[in-house]
Amino acid sequence: MSPAGSTRASIRNTLRARRAALSPTERIAATQALVTQVERIPEFMTDARIAGYWAIAGELPLAALMSGVQARGQTWHLPIVDDDGLLRFAPWRTGAALAANRFGIPEPVCTLEQSCAPDDLDVVLVPLLGFDRAGWRLGFGGGYYDRSFAFLRERQGPGKPVLVGIGYAVQEVDPIDAQPWDVRMDYIATERELIDLTPTP
């Protein structure tokens, strides 16, 4: 493992412990407070295709956001991990069929034709383990989001989809040493604030 990889592994361990230390009361309060922050993003309130994630391992749940998306007539999507290590996304509504993937994470049951590519989405809520105020994110280390949204890496202005990193405020870290494969978020949303990293017109 490279020095950078070793440092990231150490930071991830610290962040897992920090997130695990949150009480059930803090988690419930954060889930509700997150709605206020994410709903400040214009595209989230108006655009058609919104992607979230199925929360695992203490990630901040999105159920409160999903209900609003469906009430507005938008389509909620969940990620599906392909064999090539990339993500595609499929529409999902509460109560629809799910099946666990090879990592034990629930995914929508659908055909390839019913799913869409990452660049077909309008807004993607991205789970994170850590973040900094420049919009860089630490995930679990699998690289699925970075590979799937690599086409956004060179964007100079607003891109599609809008990427929103989702996490608890305690997951903030000192500036992350971004690697060439990292994809920067457009926003970071926590239960306390919305960090807007979009270019100023």
Cβ atoms of residues 81 and 148 within 8 Å: no
This prediction has a pTM of 0.93
pLDDT in tens, 63-119: 999 989 999 999 999 999 998 889 999 999 999 999 999 889 999 999 888 899 999
Alpha-carbon distance of 160 to 149, in angstroms, equals 10
Helices 24-38, 63-71: axis angle to 10 degrees equals: 30
Task: Identify the CA nearest to 185 among candidates 121, 138, 120, 116.
Answer: 138
Query: What are the tokens at 89?
Result: 């996304």
Question: What torsion, rounded to 10 degrees, do the Cα atoms 60, 61, 64, 69 define?
Answer: 100
